[in-house]
Amino acid sequence: MRSHYCGDLRVEQVDEEVTLVGWVHRRRDHGGVIFLDVRDREGVIQVVFDPDRETSFALADSVRNEYVIEINGLVRHRPEGTINPDMGTGEVEVLGKELKILNKSETPPFQLDDHQQVSEEVRLKNRFMDLRRPEMQQKMRLRAQVSSYIRNYLDSNGFLDIETPILTRATPEGARDYVVPSRTHEGSFFALPQSPQLFKQLLMVSGFDRYYQIAKCFRDEDLRADRQPEFTQIDIEMSFMNQQEIMAITENMITGLFKEKIGVELGEFPHMTYAEAMSKYGSDKPDLRNPMQLVDVADLMANIEFKVFAGPANDAASRVAALKVPGGASLTRKNIDEYTKFVSIYGARGLAWIKVNELAKGVEGLQSPIVKFLGEDVAMQIMERLEVKDGDIVFFGADKTNVVNEALGALRNKVGVDLDMLTCEWAPLWVVDWPMFEQTSDGGITAIHHPFTSPSCTPAELEADPLAAQSDAYDMVLNGCELGGGSIRIHENEMQRSVFRCLGISDEEAEEKFGFLLNGLKYGAPPHGGLAFGLDRLIMLMSGTESIREVIAFPKTQTAACPLTNAPGEVSNEQLKELSIKLREKIKI
Ligand code: ASP
Amino acid occupying residue 225 = A
Give just the sign of the alpha carbon dihedral 179, 196, 481, 324.
Answer: positive
CB of 197 shorter than 6 A to ligand 1 = yes
Q: Which atom of ligand 1 is nearest to the CA of 171?
A: 1
Q: Which residues does residue 312 pair with via DSSP β-bridges, in sequence order?
A: none
CB 140 within 8 A of CB 130: no
Q: Which residues pair with 18 in a beta bridge?
A: 73
Amino acid making up residue 536: D
What number does CATH give the domain 6-103? 2.40.50.140
pLDDT at 224: 67
Q: pLDDT tens digits, residue range 455-497? A: 999 999 999 999 999 999 999 999 999 999 999 999 999 999 9
Report whether residue 486 contacts ligand 1, using a CB cutoff of 6 Å.
yes
232 lines ligand 1 (CB under 6 A): no
Which of 452, 531, 533 best tests ligand 1's pocket when mutated (most atoms within 8 Å of CB)? 531
Asked if residue 471 has its Cβ within 6 Å of ligand 1, the reply is no
Residues 6+ apart with CB under 8 A from 319: 296, 298, 312, 397, 398, 399, 400, 401, 404, 405
Residues 70, 32 contacting (CB under 8 angstroms) = no
- For residue 540, give Cα distances in angstroms to 206, 214, 290, 428, 536: 35, 16, 20, 15, 6
Query: Stretch 394-419: mean pLDDT, rounded?
Result: 97
pLDDT band of 116, cuts 50, 70, 90: confident
pLDDT above 70 covers a percentage of the chain that reads 99
CA distance 162 to 159: 9
| Torsion, CA 38, CA 40, CA 44, CA 46, rounded to 10 | -30
How far is the centre of ligand 1, averaged over its atoms, from the C-alpha of 468 (Å)? 22
Q: What average pLDDT does range 164-172 have in this prediction?
A: 92
Produce one character per residue of 430-451: b if its CB has 16 or more CB atoms within 10 Å, e if not.
bbbbbbbbeeeeeeeeebbbbb
pTM, two decimal places: 0.94
Question: What are the angstrom distances between the C-alpha of 400 and each of 96, 318, 347?
Answer: 71, 4, 10
Residue 397's pLDDT is 97
Task: Give first-to-last CA distance, the chain, whole Å.
Answer: 59
What is residue 451's predicted lDDT score, i.e. its pLDDT?
A: 97
B/e letters for 285-304, b = 16+ CB within 10 Å, e = fewer, are: bbbbbbebbbbbbbebbeeb
pLDDT of residue 266: 98
Say if residue 576's pLDDT is above 90: yes
In the structure, what pLDDT confidence band is assigned to residue 585 with cuts at 50, 70 and 90?
A: confident
For the CA of 236, the nearest atom of ligand 1: 8
Q: Tell me if 173 CB under 6 Å of ligand 1.
A: yes
pLDDT score for 588? 60
Nearest CA owner, ligand 1 atom 7: 486
Ligand 1 centroid to Cα of residue 428, in Å, is: 19
Cβ partners under 8 Å of residue 65, min gap 6: 24, 25, 26, 27, 105, 107, 108, 111
Helices (H), 419-530: 459-464, 493-502, 507-520
Q: Which protein residue's CA is at the shortest distance from atom 8 of ligand 1?
A: 531
Residue 587: pLDDT over 70: no
Top-confidence residue, 170 or 342: 342
Q: Say whether pLDDT at 589 is over 80.
A: no
195 touches ligand 1 (CB under 6 Å): yes
Mean pLDDT for the stretch of residues 57-72 = 97
* pLDDT tens digits for range 262-303: 999 999 999 999 999 999 999 999 999 999 999 999 999 999
Q: What are phi and psi of 75, to 5 degrees?
A: -80, 135
- The answer to whether the CB of 580 falls within 8 A of the CB of 186 is yes
For residue 530 and ligand 1, the question of a CB distance below 6 A is answered with yes
H or E segment and range at residue 548: none
Ligand 1 close to Cβ of residue 487 (< 6 A):
yes
Q: At what angle do helices 507-520 and 197-205 cross, to 10 degrees?
A: 50
Write out the residue limits of the CATH 3.30.1360.30 domain(s) in the chain: 290-423
* CATH 2.40.50.140 domain span(s) along the chain: 6-103
- 53-78 mean pLDDT: 96
Backbone angles phi, psi at 270, to 5 degrees: -70, 155
Assess whether pLDDT exceeds 80 at residue 249.
yes
Contact 328, 415 (CB under 8 A): yes
Residue 571 has a pLDDT of: 93
Q: What CA dihedral angle connects 327, 280, 478 and 192, to 10 degrees?
A: -130
Asked whether the predicted pLDDT for residue 377 surpasses 90, the reply is yes
> In the CATH hierarchy, which fold is given to the domain comprising 290-423?
Gyrase A; domain 2 (3.30.1360)
* Mean per-residue pLDDT over the chain, rounded: 95
Position 225 scores a pLDDT of: 64
* pLDDT at residue 353 tops 70: yes
Q: Would the CB of 531 count as within 6 Å of ligand 1?
A: yes
Q: Report the candidate in 37, 58, 39 with the shortest Cα–Cα distance to residue 48.
A: 37
- Total length of the chain: 589
